[in-house]
Amino acid sequence: MQKVNGLIKKYWHISILVIVALISLKLRILNPWDSVFTWTVRLGGNDPWYYYRLTENTIHNFPYRIWFDPFTNYPYGTYTHYGPFLVYLGSIAGIIFNATEGESLRAVLAFIPAIGGILAIIPVYLLTKEVFDKRTALIAAFFITIVPGQFLQRSILGFNDHHIWETFWQVSAIGVFILAYNRWRDRKAEENIKFKQLIYPVAAGVCVALYILSWGPGFIIAPILLSFVFSAFVLGEFFKADRKNLSLVAVITFAVAAIVYLPFAFNYPGFSRVHYSPFQLLVLAGSAVISAAFYQIERWNEAGFFEKLGLGKRGMPVAVIIFTAIIGGLSLILMPDFASNLLSVVGVVQPRGGALTIAEVYPFFFTHGGEFTLANAVLHFGSLFFFAMAGIFYSAYRVVRKRDFVELSILIWAVLMLIALWGQNRFAYYFAAVVAVYSALIVSIMFEKLHFYRVLENVLGAKNKFSYFRVIFAVIIVFAAVYPTYVLANAQSSYTGGPGKQWYDALLWMRENTPDGDKYREYYLELYPTPQSNKEPFSYPFETYGVMSWWDYGHWIQTIANRMPVANPFQEGIGNKYNNVPGASSFFTAENESYAEWVAEKLNVRYVVSDIEMETGKFYAMAVWAEGDLPLAEKYYSGFFYYSPSLGKLGYASSQWDVPLDSILIPLRVPGELYYKTMEAKLHLLDGSGLSHYRMIYESDYPGEWRSYASQIDLNNENQVLQVAVYESVMRAQYHVPPTMGTQEVLYKYAYRQLYEKDTGLPVKIAPSGYVKIFERVKGAVVTGKVSGNVTEVTVKVTIMTNQNRTFEYWQTVKVENGTYTAVIPYSHDSEYAVKPVTPYYFTAGDVVKELTVSEKQVQNGEIIQLDL
């Protein structure tokens, strides 16, 4: 029995870690299960789909993988910056489970982030234990499990991206580095060169390398670790540190990391902080050399070299500062490309322009109105954020009082991560580890002061005295830290995101119903040569075409449809209007079809995919990218919707302050006239009406809410549709929540009808439409002829039925010049697509109306048809 008790006392923490792992499993695998394993195996977000693409390609070419991908950023291609760690981890797992493509491979990949999230308790536990103690480490392991927000969302079933592994390997690298230092300090060199001791810095080096192999910019771990060494030298008078062994640990760590990274160092033509290039190798090798120089400086210091020079005790810190300045200066002068890549890290924490429309890039502590807020802190960390901030301040106090170098080191890490978080909210998944460690510290201190640990020890047989009042207070603190945080985590982990069924069905349709599907699939799985530059269009082995959509959807188009998107989530192919750069933003915000055609011709676009989000909320992002800055996008909007209960109808106000006092402000901007002139509005809101070279060829089902409403009302009855839209908007406005996107589309159409339809001459039906729409770019049949009388314009009208059995009117109005008109029309009556005319074209000139039926051959070849009116 005594032996059993001894084992319990020695290994009790393992049982706690197992319980923590089971909680993590529940949050990360069981909660989101139905969201992933649904009508298909649905990976979350955008980037996991690109990892799926790389993994599928790697399995078919194992052990080789692609480092340049001509299948995206069409027609230029892109250098792939996704690291080899996750690509090969997924590929090996797929091969082991005989899952080489499709749903079976996605099913295997879906578990990888969840496994990473569960295993994250190990490095967090190790780091906290090495800096503080085992009890604090167990609390930190539990807290990292229940932290909500980005860390959780990037480590749940289906979200197979590198983000969880970034955090995992960064914390592992710092934890093992400190472990190595703790095992080496105050030991002689002959003791540390034994295998048993060498394994620690070697393991730290492997962790550093795996961090970079998970994420190219992970080289930032080198300056972080060097900052630990630098502080030990510069603050040597205040902090007791074994500088010699610290430097040696750093030398071995960086040298091993450089060796592990070396095979991947030449997969990009030049220096890059993002891609796998010699840049990261130089950072690691240079860090090893700098650490060796620190070691030599310490040897000189021990030999009294600086005192002999008359510099006294401050000689060594001054020498380190001068040495660091010289190294920095030489880097700027001798290696400008290297230096520019290193300095570009500053841009990561200071995003500007279009980058501010990327959700994960926006500054963490500020609203889009520029106001400081802690709402994100609560959303991403729960109540633990406030405990962690208290822990950081308390740790800073302890560092000053106790002068503990190890605690100073991770305090430096915490502050650096806070600075990164301040700049971009994507770093919330890094700061989650900081929150776990420092909230655990402050809670552990409280547990000690409030006798909570005494009670736990009594459970194991001790007989400690304790205060019931203090213990009750400790329980209240536990509740305040854990309950709201866990509730958030439990709610957030139920859904993993990814393409909705409308998107998935649309892209499957595109894969099966657009030209050269077999060629694209075969080419999709090939290895590609890496060009020296992608400034010019890539040389494809067969005649290809591009697919235009917003960048959010590029990876889905590539992986599900196996087609080549122009824009992608790497923010490539976006373009702009202020410099006339062809791309998605310049195309969709084009104010006339001729400019859009110029963009499409430059990029060899054949298909355009739009969804309701691009039509509504995401249009603002497109406008910002197109115009270059947030304020410049405001010109596409003219005011706000409000509902007047006394009048029983919607109204418009130019500003929030102009809304009548008795009215309800609808949190939705009213689009301005310029918005309705854009290609996005003409394509999605007007169904392509008025366009000459674009025709709808596929429409998905309605947005979810309107599929439900369709069972209660007639969607062809505009009054009923508008009543439902207004009712929903008012109900949601009471909670300051915008209308659903389907309802936003209805309100956009209502505003267009009231404000602009008469001037444009393009009627619109106030009704919802499909979530996703696919358009084909065609030459169009050219109808021309003479017009008698004083007629100044000719209108063209045809009724189109979509594959969802929804009908809409295609209109076009052209001017008569010198008694002649010319209209280019995109739809044919014998098209193989389900979306086609169900009536003839009606050409109207004054009182003259003539019918016309057009063939697919005429549309595709741009044939001229003579039709006098």
Which candidate, 858, 865, 696, 669, places its Cα nearest to that of 776? 696
The CATH number of the domain where 681 resides is what?
Answer: 1.20.58.1650
Which candidate, 438, 442, 418, 412, places its Cα nearest to that of 430? 418
Residue where a domain stops, chosen among 492, 524, 550: 492
Q: How many structural domains is the chain composed of? A: 3
Q: What is the pLDDT of residue 193?
A: 83
Q: What is the pLDDT of residue 338?
A: 46
The pTM assigned to this predicted structure is 0.92
The string of pLDDT tens digits covering residues 86-96 is 999 999 999 99
CB-based burial, 405-443: b 16+ in 10 Å, e otherwise: bbbbbbbbbbebbbebbbbbbbbbbbbbbbbbbbbbbbb
Pairing, β 546-548 against β 605-611:
parallel
Query: Do both 635 and 685 map to the same domain?
Result: yes
Question: Is there a domain that residue 799 lies in?
Answer: yes
Question: Is there a domain that residue 690 lies in?
Answer: yes
Q: What is the pLDDT of residue 238?
A: 82
The C-alpha atoms of residue 210 and residue 216 are separated, in whole angstroms, by 10
Query: Do both 241 and 287 map to the same domain?
Result: yes
Q: What is the pLDDT of residue 201?
A: 96
Does 345 score more than 60 pLDDT? no
* pLDDT band at 7; cut points 50, 70, 90: low
Residue where a domain stops, chosen among 459, 492, 525: 492
For 619, half-sphere exposure in the C-beta direction (CA atoms, 13 angstrom radius) is 34
Joined together, the tokens standing for residue 549 give 């959509």
Average of per-residue pLDDT across 410-418? 94
The string of pLDDT tens digits covering residues 681-714 is 999 999 999 999 999 999 999 998 999 998 899 9
Query: Do both 810 and 677 map to the same domain?
Result: no
Average of per-residue pLDDT across 27-33? 96
Joined together, the tokens standing for residue 41 give 């195996």
Question: Is there a domain that residue 104 lies in?
Answer: no
Amino acid at the residue 444: S
Question: Is there a domain that residue 369 lies in?
Answer: no
Question: Is there a domain that residue 786 lies in?
Answer: yes
Q: What is the pLDDT of residue 93?
A: 97
Query: Do both 767 and 789 map to the same domain?
Result: no
The string of pLDDT tens digits covering residues 747-780 is 999 999 999 998 888 999 999 999 999 999 999 9
Does 579 score more than 50 pLDDT? yes
Does 120 score more than 60 pLDDT? yes
Query: Do both 728 and 802 map to the same domain?
Result: no
Does 111 score more than 60 pLDDT? yes
Residue 770 contacts residue 760 (beta carbons within 8 Å): no
Per-chain mean pLDDT for the chain: 91
The string of pLDDT tens digits covering residues 489-536 is 999 999 888 999 999 999 999 999 999 999 999 999 999 999 999 999
User: Does residue 828 sit in helix, strand or coil?
Assistant: coil
Residue where a domain stops, chosen among 492, 525, 551: 492
Query: Do both 201 and 285 map to the same domain?
Result: yes
Joined together, the tokens standing for residue 654 give 């130019």
The string of pLDDT tens digits covering residues 304-314 is 777 676 666 66
Question: Is there a domain that residue 63 lies in?
Answer: no
The C-alpha atoms of residue 672 and residue 748 are separated, in whole angstroms, by 10
Helices (DSSP H) in 185-220: which residue ranges? 189-192, 195-214
Which candidate, 489, 497, 495, places its Cα nearest to that of 27? 489
The string of pLDDT tens digits covering residues 137-147 is 999 999 999 99
Query: Do both 626 and 759 map to the same domain?
Result: yes
Query: Do both 767 and 809 map to the same domain?
Result: no
Average of per-residue pLDDT across 228-243? 87
The C-alpha atoms of residue 241 and residue 237 are separated, in whole angstroms, by 10
Residue written as token pair 């030209």: 515
Residue 667 contacts residue 738 (beta carbons within 8 Å): yes
Query: Do both 805 and 700 map to the same domain?
Result: no
Residue 79 contacts residue 67 (beta carbons within 8 Å): yes
The string of pLDDT tens digits covering residues 377-395 is 999 999 999 999 999 999 9
Q: What is the pLDDT of residue 790?
A: 86
The C-alpha atoms of residue 214 and residue 162 are separated, in whole angstroms, by 6
The CATH number of the domain where 784 resides is what?
Answer: 2.60.40.3390
Query: Do both 807 and 666 map to the same domain?
Result: no
Query: Do both 310 and 456 map to the same domain?
Result: yes
Question: Is there a domain that residue 474 lies in?
Answer: yes
User: Which backbone phi and psi does 553 adopt, to 5 degrees?
Assistant: -105, 5
The string of pLDDT tens digits covering residues 456-490 is 878 777 788 888 888 888 889 989 999 999 999 99
Average of per-residue pLDDT across 27-40? 95
User: Does residue 97 sit in helix, strand or coil?
Assistant: coil
Q: What is the pLDDT of residue 64?
A: 96
Angle at 538 (CA atoms; ends 536, 542), nearest 5 degrees: 145
Question: Is there a domain that residue 151 lies in?
Answer: yes
Its domain, for residue 855, covers 780-866
The string of pLDDT tens digits covering residues 815-838 is 999 999 999 999 999 999 999 999
Query: Do both 400 and 329 map to the same domain?
Result: yes
